[in-house]
Amino acid sequence: MIDKNYCQQLLKEFIPNDFPLSEEIEYCISSGGKRMRMIILLQLAQKLDVLDDNAKRIAVAVELIHNYSLVHDDLPCMDNDDFRRGVPTCHKKYGQATAVLTGDALLNLAMEVALSGDFNQVGYADAVRFLFGSTGTKGMIGGQVFDLFQKATDMESYKDITLKKTGALILASVFAPLYLAEAPQEEFDRWNLIASNFAIMFQLVDDLKDFSKDENSALNFASKEEIIATIDNLCLAIQTLLPFELPIMDEIMQKAKIHG
């Protein structure tokens, strides 16, 4: 079964533990994360019958990139968070300089894992290229820049920022198996819509936990009722688009409805 335990074992298989910062990296990737992006990729790869070493490598790279972004997000110069998932953030435990280097190491390790795959396999180069393109200035990092310096003023601008900051890595997670399976363009179009709606829904649920009308709130432009209605509509759209059951998405959508 592809779950958090399965993912944790994969991370242990692909990540060495005998190099500088190995303790800090282990601390960051073992502090209770959902492994959502990784599980999405692996479950979809299994559905498409492409759950091989290359798919696993990209899934590990996705998780490493996600964790690098969290380490840097938590820094005092960014979100200035002292705790994540109930434990001290990397910079609170090891210091700011070490946290910066740990984030750098996680990103570099993601490249090492992905670039050590079999590029003779059809679609692998495209999947790796899309992953690292999605997490750069046109994707995840670009979204973080907008989130830091512009902020959303309405639901449309919120969605635009979310599709980059959160959605880019989720999109890479669903596109990787499609590339490996040599899926037709219509499937890329379908999963683009699924991933985009899912990313916005997921971020809305996360931001709703800290909802307020305070000017620093990510959702201060809307009412709680409007946000919940948007979450429900997004879940309905995702369920309509999904060509088959994907357990991780179903589980998260069920929790989203309960939260609302």
Give the model's pLDDT for residue 7: 95
pLDDT one-digit tens code per residue, 83-93: 888 899 999 99
Q: Which two tokens stand for residue 41?
A: 């990729």
**pLDDT score recorded for residue 16:** 82
Domain that holds residue 111: 4-259
In the predicted structure, residue 257 carries a pLDDT above the cut 90 = no
Structure confidence at residue 52 (pLDDT): 97
pLDDT band at residue 127 using 50, 70 and 90 as cut-offs:
very high
Q: What pLDDT is stored for residue 256 in this prediction? A: 86
pLDDT at 213 over 60: no
The model's pLDDT over 150-159, given as tens digits with 9 standing for 90+, comes to 888 899 999 9
Quote the percentage of the chain above a pLDDT of 70.
97
Q: What is the DSSP string of 180-248?
A: HTT--HHHHHHHHHHHHHHHHHHHHHHHHTT--SSTTSTTTTS-HHHHHHHHHHHHHHHHHH-SS--HH
Among all chains, which residue has been given the structure tokens 């499609």? 178
Q: What pLDDT sits at residue 123?
A: 98
Query: Mind spelling out the 3-state secondary structure of 108-126?
Result: HHHHHHHHCCCCCCCCHHH
Residue 137 pLDDT > 70: yes
Q: Give the C-alpha separation, 57 to 158, whole Å.
A: 32
Q: What is the CA radius of gyration of the chain?
A: 18
Average pLDDT, the chain: 92
- SS3 label, residue 154: coil
Paired residues of 84 in beta bridges = 87
* pLDDT for residue 247: 96
The end-to-end CA distance of the chain, in Å, is 29
Strand, helix or coil at 97? helix
| pLDDT score of 217 | 72
For 142-152, write each residue's pLDDT tens digit: 989 988 888 88
Q: What is the pLDDT of residue 163?
A: 96
d(CA 27, CA 92): 12
Q: Answer yes or no: is pLDDT of 214 > 70.
A: no
Check residues 220 and 74 and name the one with the higher pLDDT.
74
pLDDT at 258: 61
- Whole-angstrom distance, CA of residue 7 vs CA of residue 139: 25
Q: Give the domain CATH number at 238.
A: 1.10.600.10
Look at residue 2 in the predicted model and tell me its pLDDT.
95
Average pLDDT over residues 98-106: 95
What digits encode the pLDDT tens for the residues 184-206? 999 999 999 999 999 999 999 98
Given a cut of 90, whether residue 68 has pLDDT beyond it is: yes
Distances in Å between the Cα of 104 and the Cα atoms of 101, 107, 199 are: 5, 5, 25
- The count of domains in the chain is 1
Asked if residues 125 and 119 have their Cβ atoms less than 8 Å apart, the reply is yes
CB-based burial of residue 167 (10 Å sphere; 0-12 exposed, 13-18 middle, 19+ buried)?
A: buried
At 152 the pLDDT is: 86
Q: For residues 239 and 198, give the distance between their C-alpha atoms in angstroms, rounded to a whole number.
A: 10
Question: Does the structure show a pLDDT above 80 at 138?
Answer: yes
What tokens were used for 71? 């380490």
**12: pLDDT strictly greater than 60:** yes
